C-alpha cells in the first residue's frame, strides 16, 4: 500500500446489492482502499458495517459541535453557499441592470433554506450552533428532492472535511460533484471525478438544466476526469471546453452490433436498428470491472504524486 491519501466522496454503499446502481461506490472504494489510504464519506452510514482498509464516515454519525471551522475561508464563495448565483444569460423578465446597481433580497437563514433543500449563506461565527451541530438529523433526508440532497451533502462534507488530512479529493458520481468542488475551493486540493455518464444521457440536448451547469463547473475545475470508455471521453471533449490531458478513460467500450453511429451537432448519438430510438447513452456488452477501474485510477493518481 502506498502513502497516497484519498478522500472518497460516495453516495450509496451496498455490499449485498446484486444489481448495483450507478450511485453505489462499494466496489471501486473497496478496491482502491487495498492500495491507498482511503476515507469514504457518505450521507448516511450504518455503524454495523465494517470494511477492511476503509475509514467509513456517515454524516449522520458526525457531531458537528466537535468539528473545527475551516482554517482558510475560500476566496470564492462556494456554489452551494451562495445567496445568489448570477446566470450567464438573464432570465426572462429579470432587470437588465449592471451588477453594482442590482438589489438582492436579504440572505436566508440556514434553517429556513435547509427545510426547502436550497443553499444558504454560511455562518461566519467562530462556533457551531446546536442547530448546525444536529442539523443533518433534523432534516428529513428522505423527503428532500435530489438537488436538495446534493446541496445538503456538499454543505456538511465541506464543514466536516475542510481541515482533514488528504492529498486528493475523489468525487465518485455526479451527486458528489458539488461536495468535491466545495472542498476544492476551500482547501485547494486537487479534485478527481469519475464520470460514467453525462447529464445529456438523461436530458434533452437543448434543455440541460441544473445538473448540466453543475457538471460543466466541476469539469472545468477538476484535475482528473475518469471515464469508463474512450467513446464517452470523446463525447466529453465535444460537449465541454476541456483539454484531453485531464481525461483518462478506464477501458475501451465495445459497441453492440445493432447500433449505428450518426452525427448530430457536436455529439455522437446512436440509433437502434430495431426501434429507431435515438439516445446518446452508450450501452456496453459487459458490466464494468470495478477492480480494474480502481487499479487504473490509483495508478494515474499515484504517478502524479510519485
Are 14 and 28 within 8 A, CB to CB?
no
Phi, psi at 159, each rounded to 5°: -65, -40
Please say if the pLDDT value at position 226 is more than 70.
yes
At 302, is the secondary structure helix, strand, or coil? Answer: helix
Mean pLDDT of the 171-199 span: 92
Which of 95, 93, 158 has the alpha carbon at shortest distance from 122?
158
Could you tell me the residue ranges of all domains in the chain?
5-196+288-304
Least confident of 131-135, 192-196, 213-217: 131-135
Q: For position 213, what pLDDT does the model report?
A: 86
Angstrom distance (rounded) from CA 218 to CA 216: 6
Q: At what angle do helices 177-187 and 209-221 cross, to 10 degrees?
A: 40
The mean of the pLDDT values for the chain is 71
More confident residue, 123 or 227: 227
Are 295 and 288 within 8 A, CB to CB?
no
Number of H helices, E strands in the chain: 9, 10
Tens digits of per-residue pLDDT, 240-277? 888 888 999 887 434 333 333 333 333 333 333 344 33
Please say if the pLDDT value at position 290 is more than 70.
yes
Which of 150, 210, 201 has the alpha carbon at shortest distance from 180?
150
Please say if the pLDDT value at position 107 is more than 60.
no
Angstrom distance (rounded) from CA 55 to CA 41: 8
Please say if the pLDDT value at position 150 is more than 80.
yes
Confidence tier at 206 by pLDDT (50, 70, 90): low
Are 99 and 86 within 8 A, CB to CB?
yes
| % of the chain exceeding 90 in pLDDT | 27
How many residues in the chain? 306
DSSP state, residue 42: E
Q: Which three cell numbers stand for residue 212?
A: 448540466
Mean pLDDT of the 62-76 span: 64
| % of the chain exceeding 70 in pLDDT | 58
Least confident of 97-111, 150-164, 233-247: 97-111
- Give me the residue label for grid cell 440536448: 205
Are 278 and 269 within 8 A, CB to CB?
yes
- Give me the residue label for grid cell 445568489: 84
How many CB atoms are located within 10 Å of the residue 292 CB?
A: 12
Angstrom distance (rounded) from CA 47 to CA 154: 21
Q: For position 243, what pLDDT does the model report?
A: 86
Please say if the pLDDT value at position 283 is more than 70.
no
Which of 231, 238, 240 has the alpha carbon at shortest distance from 213?
240
Beta strand ranges found along 168-283 (DSSP E): 168-171, 191-194, 224-227, 247-249, 259-264, 267-272, 278-279
Q: For position 299, what pLDDT does the model report?
A: 92
Q: What is the pTM of this model?
A: 0.69
Please say if the pLDDT value at position 110 is more than 80.
no
Angstrom distance (rounded) from CA 299 to CA 301: 6
Amino acid at each position: 500500500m502506498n502513502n497516497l491519501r484519498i478522500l472518497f466522496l460516495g453516495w450509496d454503499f451496498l455490499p449485498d446489492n446484486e444489481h448495483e446502481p450507478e450511485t453505489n461506490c462499494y466496489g471501486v472504494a473497496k478496491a482502491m482502499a487495498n492500495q491507498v489510504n482511503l476515507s469514504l464519506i457518505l450521507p448516511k452510514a450504518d455503524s454495523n458495517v465494517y470494511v477492511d482498509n476503509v475509514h467509513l464516515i456517515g454524516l449522520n454519525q458526525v457531531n458537528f459541535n466537535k468539528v473545527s471551522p475551516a482554517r482558510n475561508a475560500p476566496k470564492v464563495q462556494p456554489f452551494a453557499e451562495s445567496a445568489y448565483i448570477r446566470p450567464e444569460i438573464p432570465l426572462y423578465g429579470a432587470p437588465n441592470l449592471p451588477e453594482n446597481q442590482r438589489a438582492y433580497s436579504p440572505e436566508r437563514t440556514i434553517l429556513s433554506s435547509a427545510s426547502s433543500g436550497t443553499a444558504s449563506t454560511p455562518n461566519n461565527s467562530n462556533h457551531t450552533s446546536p442547530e448546525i451541530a444536529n442539523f443533518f438529523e433534523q432534516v428529513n433526508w428522505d423527503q428532500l428532492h435530489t438537488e436538495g440532497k446534493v446541496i445538503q451533502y456538499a454543505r456538511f462534507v465541506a464543514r466536516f472535511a475542510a481541515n482533514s488530512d488528504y492529498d486528493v479529493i475523489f468525487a465518485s458520481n455526479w451527486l458528489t460533484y458539488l461536495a468535491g468542488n466545495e472542498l476544492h475551493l476551500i482547501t485547494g486540493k486537487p479534485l478527481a471525478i469519475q464520470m460514467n455518464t453525462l447529464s445529456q444521457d438523461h436530458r434533452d440536448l437543448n434543455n440541460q438544466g441544473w445538473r448540466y451547469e453543475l457538471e460543466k463547473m466541476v469539469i472545468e475545475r477538476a484535475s482528473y476526469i475518469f471515464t469508463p470508455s474512450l467513446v464517452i471521453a470523446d463525447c466529453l471533449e465535444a460537449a465541454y471546453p476541456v483539454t484531453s490531458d485531464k481525461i483518462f478513460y478506464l477501458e475501451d467500450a465495445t459497441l453492440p452490433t445493432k447500433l449505428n453511429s450518426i452525427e448530430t451537432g457536436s455529439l455522437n448519438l446512436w440509433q437502434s436498428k430495431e426501434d429507431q430510438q435515438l439516445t446518446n447513452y452508450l450501452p456496453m456488452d459487459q458490466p464494468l470491472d470495478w477492480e480494474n477501474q480502481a487499479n487504473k485510477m490509483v495508478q494515474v493518481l499515484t504517478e502524479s504524486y510519485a
